[in-house]
A and B are shown apart, each in its own frame.
Chain A
Amino acid sequence: MTRSFSNLAALACLVLGALAPLIFGGQPYVLYVLTLALCYTIPAIGVNILYGYTGLVSLGHMGFAGVGAYTTALLMKDVGVPFVPALLGGALAAGVLGVLVGIPCLRLRSHFFIVVTLAVGMILFTLFNNLDALTGGAEGLPGIPRPAPFSIGPIDFEFRSLTGFYMLTFVVTALIFALQFVLVRSDFGRSLSSVRQDEALASARGVNVFGHKLMAFALSTAIAGAGGAMKVLFLRAAAPMSFDMHESINLMMMLILGGAGYLVGPVVGAITFIAVPEFLRIAAEMRFIFFGFVLLVLARFAPRGICGLAESAYKKLGRREKTVVGYS
């Protein structure tokens, strides 16, 4: 990956994201859509760690997001836990479940692992839908409180307004983005990449393949949990439909669209998938048809997504850079 390209793109996203309330302050609808896109960016970052950097496909990730979402919602609504510990609790619950699922299932290879994630996602969805006492069943869980306002010195922060909640989601996303940044640039991240490229070789070079996969899976599910939590806090209601198989597929799709294995891939993907059609006023079904075709074209001609295309364009514009190992 071209490091200068990657850092430049990340910096641009950060600046644009922070300035969004100033730019779009007068347009609540734009902020609403951007907040929603950020809520998907978080679990997409989780999937990026798993798929983009470790090479494992999960088609049940929104199930884990749901575990985080319901845990956070219940902690805030019924136990009265404040936002930060509740969010961490949700992420922890999803991560612990990720470890429990990962220990037996990560021994399976390629499509067997994919099928297991699909099955786990379906089981979780059934549970959200039917554990009425806990999750409110198909009706969902309404009335999740907004995070409490607080002040640092003379500055007040509140999350009732759209701008306030946008900034909160932005900060959470930025922190998780930073986590992704640190993770993939660390030795651990480089070992993950070696697992993705050649498991046998990585293992021969002394990488504990199973341990790395498990760690990546746990982190990925925990991040997905935090994303699910932000989504239900934003919508102020948790419903099983938000965490079904189609949502998991959409999540994979966002990442592939944006560019798996790129730091900003999840950001670009979620915004393209959620926000662009909204602003172009494309009806929901037409959007899926359109993105379905995009996915077919990407699978065939540009498996590295929008970021991959942007990177090649950037390299053509600018000089140097050695060849990049292809990702497929």
Chain B
Amino acid sequence: MTTAIFEQFINGTMMGSIYVLMALGMVLIYGVMHVLNFAHGVLFMVGGYLAHLFFFNLTGSYPLAILGAMVSLALIGVLLERAVFRALRDNLRMQIVASLGLIMIIQNGVVQIWGPHALQMRPPPVEALVRIGQLSFTVQHFVIIGVVAVSVAALYLFLTRTRLGTAMRATSQHPEAAVVVGIDPNRVYTLTFMIASALAGLGGALLGPLFLIFPQMGDAPMLKALSAIIIGGMGSVPGAIVGGLGIGIVESLSTLVVPTDYRDTIVFGVLILMLLIRPWGIFGVRVRGEH
């Protein structure tokens, strides 16, 4: 039993790390722009496909493929913000409509380009195994956990130590005041979308090789990340980290108690419960009239 718990704990930490990447992107976009980007999951999926493309057709190196996916996604993020979301600021319903449109375009566009069947890529870290006692994990498990830990640290330093990061936080806290002190909100918005999309691309490039790369691969991570930012507290960066990791670990451990097919139900059950008791989340602050 202890080994089973340990195994699920490592699996959960790995999946949770992926959710953290997604949740951080969504929380940045939400915190800075008040946009709930439902299309974040398809960006994750595109990250998987682009990593596959770069790995097999261009570089043959997995780290370079990841980098390529992230840079491409950053550019896509800029495009999305400029072309779609900028005009829809402060219009929640139409932002959702636009996200739904993007999901349809991107998901079915990928099917047009790569076909509906799942792709496989097995870079070295997926083939190599780590043995801990009787258990074995792929090296990729620990690559994911490590890369996410480093990314979170880098993001934290960026947000707290650089001028641009400070500008982002300022815009998120008080947009008007940020303008007064000379921050150009449009630049901040573009930057936010860029970072968030790159993080989603990183997630897809990391998880894709471990499982399969297919058009719907981003749906579940997007929904889990959405749950994570709500459980953690909308707009809270620590909340996204705790929420993401927590959801990954809870869903993995829940498979020890309930059939695997029902683990999503557990997560969404926790989400609904949280929304009912404490809709402002673990780290969020209660704002009157917002919930």
Main secondary structure of the interface of A (DSSP, over half): helix
Q: Are A292 and B105 in contact (CB under 8 A)?
A: yes
Q: Are A130 and B94 in contact (CB under 8 A)?
A: no
Query: Closest Cβ of chain B: how far from A213's Cβ, in Å?
Result: 15
- Given the complex, which residues of A lie within 8 Å of B112, measured CB to CB? 285-286, 289
- Given the complex, which residues of B lie within 8 Å of A303, measured CB to CB? 93-94, 97
A157 within 8 A of B: no
B178 within 8 A of A: no
With A293-B105, A296-B84 as known contacts, state yes or no: A123 contacts B279, CB within 8 Å: no
Query: Closest Cβ of chain A: how far from B34's Cβ, in Å?
Result: 9
Query: Closest Cβ of chain B: how far from A108's Cβ, in Å?
Result: 6
A105 to B230, CA, bound (A): 14
Q: Are A110 and B101 in contact (CB under 8 A)?
A: no
Q: Are B100 and A245 in contact (CB under 8 A)?
A: no
Partner of A288, one of B93, B107, B226, B276: B107
**Residue on B with the closest CB to A118?**
B223
Q: Within A107-129, which residues are at the interface with B (CB < 8 Å)?
A: 108-112, 114-116, 118-120, 122-123, 126-127, 129
A161 within 8 A of B: no
B36 within 8 A of A: yes
Partner of A123, one of B88, B105, B269: B269
B104 within 8 A of A: yes
Q: Within A278-300, which residues are at the interface with B (CB < 8 Å)?
A: 285-286, 288-289, 291-296, 298-300
Q: Are A119 and B271 in contact (CB under 8 A)?
A: yes
- Given the complex, which residues of A lie within 8 Å of B111, measured CB to CB? 285
A297 to B255, CA, bound (A): 43
Partner of B230, one of A112, A123, A293, A296: A112
| Interface bits B243-264 vs A (CB < 8 Å: 1, else 0) | 0000000000000000101101
B124 within 8 A of A: no
**Residue on A with the closest CB to B36?**
A111
**Residue on B with the closest CB to A122?**
B268
Q: Which size class do A's interface residues fall under?
A: 35 or more
Partner of A299, one of B98, B262, B264, B276: B98
Main secondary structure of the interface of B (DSSP, over half): helix
Q: Within A212-266, which residues are at the interface with B (CB < 8 Å)?
A: 245, 249, 252-253, 256
B147 within 8 A of A: no
**Residue on A with the closest CB to B260?**
A130
A141 within 8 A of B: no
A104 within 8 A of B: yes
With A57-B96, A122-B264 as known contacts, state yes or no: A115 contacts B104, CB within 8 Å: no
Q: Are B93 and A328 in contact (CB under 8 A)?
A: yes
B87 within 8 A of A: yes
- Given the complex, which residues of B lie within 8 Å of A115, measured CB to CB? 226-227, 230, 271, 275
**Residue on A with the closest CB to B273?**
A104
Q: Are A119 and B272 in contact (CB under 8 A)?
A: yes
Query: Closest Cβ of chain A: how far from B229's Cβ, in Å?
Result: 9
B60 within 8 A of A: no
- Given the complex, which residues of B lie within 8 Å of A253, measured CB to CB? 100-101, 104
With A122-B223, A249-B103 as known contacts, state yes or no: A110 contacts B92, CB within 8 Å: yes
Q: Are A109 and B104 in contact (CB under 8 A)?
A: no
A105 to B219, CA, bound (A): 23
Q: How many residues of B contact A (CB 8 A)?
A: 45
A166 to B103, CA, bound (A): 32
B72 within 8 A of A: no
- Given the complex, which residues of A lie within 8 Å of B93, measured CB to CB? 55, 57, 303, 328
Q: Are A288 and B291 in contact (CB under 8 A)?
A: no
Q: Are B100 and A328 in contact (CB under 8 A)?
A: no
Q: Are B262 and A130 in contact (CB under 8 A)?
A: yes
- Given the complex, which residues of B lie within 8 Å of A104, measured CB to CB? 276
| Interface bits A174-213 vs B (CB < 8 Å: 1, else 0) | 0000000000000000000000000000000000000000
A120 to B96, CA, bound (A): 18
With A126-B264, A245-B219 as known contacts, state yes or no: A292 contacts B226, CB within 8 Å: no
- Given the complex, which residues of B lie within 8 Å of A111, measured CB to CB? 36, 92
Query: Closest Cβ of chain B: how far from A178's Cβ, in Å?
Result: 27
Partner of B259, one of A59, A130, A298: A130
A293 to B261, CA, bound (A): 35
B138 within 8 A of A: no
Q: Are A295 and B104 in contact (CB under 8 A)?
A: yes
Q: Are A285 and B108 in contact (CB under 8 A)?
A: yes
Query: Closest Cβ of chain A: how far from B204's Cβ, in Å?
Result: 19
- Given the complex, which residues of B lie within 8 Å of A300, measured CB to CB? 84, 87-88, 94, 98
Partner of B275, one of A108, A294, A299, A328: A108
Known: A119-B272, A296-B84. 9 other contacts (CB 8 A): A105-B276, A108-B279, A115-B227, A116-B272, A123-B265, A130-B259, A285-B111, A291-B104, A296-B105
Interface residues of B (CB under 8 A from A): 36, 38, 84, 87-88, 91-98, 100-109, 111-112, 219, 223, 226-227, 230, 259, 261-262, 264-265, 268-269, 271-272, 275-276, 279, 289-291
Interface residues of A (CB under 8 A from B): 55, 57, 59, 104-105, 108-112, 114-116, 118-120, 122-123, 126-127, 129-130, 245, 249, 252-253, 256, 285-286, 288-289, 291-296, 298-300, 303, 328
- For the complex of A and B, list the 10 residue pairs with the smallest distance between their C-beta atoms, beginning with the closest: A295-B101, A292-B104, A292-B105, A119-B268, A288-B108, A285-B108, A299-B98, A299-B97, A299-B94, A296-B101
Please name 6 pairs of A and B residues whose Cβ atoms are closer than 8 Å in the assembled complex, sorted by A. A111-B36, A122-B223, A130-B261, A289-B104, A292-B100, A295-B98
